[in-house]
Amino acid sequence: MGNVTDYVLEELRLFRTGLGLSQDDFGRGIGYSGSHVSSVETGGRAPTKEYMRAIDAHHPTAERFQRMLERLARLDAEPAWLREWIEFEREATTLRWFELAYVPGLLQTERYARATLAGGRFDAEDVDRIVASRLERQAILQRSRPPQLIAVLDEAVLRRPVLDQPGLMVEQCEHLVQLATAEHIQVHIVPVDAGMYLGLAGQFIIAEMPDGERVAHADNQLTAQFVDAPTEVAKLAKTWEIVRNEALPRRQSTELIKEVAKSWTC
């Protein structure tokens, strides 16, 4: 994140010096002191919305610096491991995704995504940023050459209620059914009668890259583990095959999702 912040601050410095203005003169034009400008440019003071808006209002920037700040804020809402993973996600040809607790982020509706962030861990502004980022990631599934996404979900994911959100799970289940009609998206469900199985140890994703390399990640409440060592990825790949064999075939999984959706309307 430091590199991104440094880039924004460097752009601010280059913009000012490109105008041939001292920090005092630049600050005077936008209604700030020269010491304030200096503090922002050296990282001592964060560039606020008001500061960026003042620059864009006084100079013909086409709101460039406000857009930079919005992008910076979005990145701030994403931990470093996630930003790194998103790059692999964008380049992957195949994503094998097992979820024990939630619908995979690439398949979530906006309401469901917001519900996963409830509980007080994030403030309203952070929730907006994270949800926007999550929905933006889904664009890879709409590309002309999208990755093959094979998602395996525990049935409990579909049956877990979201309190005080009537209709949310119906909407999410119907969304899954619709997405699963696409050739490049497969959704499989591990039924509750599968009993104890290896997937109960936790969620993970395996991404296969264009050159055949595989990378993966698994996470928990506190940390996410990025995995690229071939032997470790191979272990996860073996687990994937075992978990995938516990899941229902594609058509049966879709019928189960439809059945669960109907149960939420009763």
Per-residue pLDDT at 96? 98
Q: What secondary structure does DSSP assign to 7-64, as a single string?
A: HHHHHHHHHHHHTT--HHHHHHHHT--HHHHHHHHTTSS---HHHHHHHHHHTT-TTH
- At position 68, the amino acid (one-letter code) is M
Per-residue pLDDT at 129? 83
Per-residue pLDDT at 46? 75
Per-residue pLDDT at 184? 98
pLDDT profile of the chain (266 residues), mean per 10: 70 94 95 91 82 93 88 62 80 96 96 90 83 91 96 97 92 97 98 94 93 85 73 94 97 98 90
Per-residue pLDDT at 1? 40
Q: pTM value?
A: 0.72
Which backbone phi and psi does 227 adopt, to 5 degrees?
-125, 120
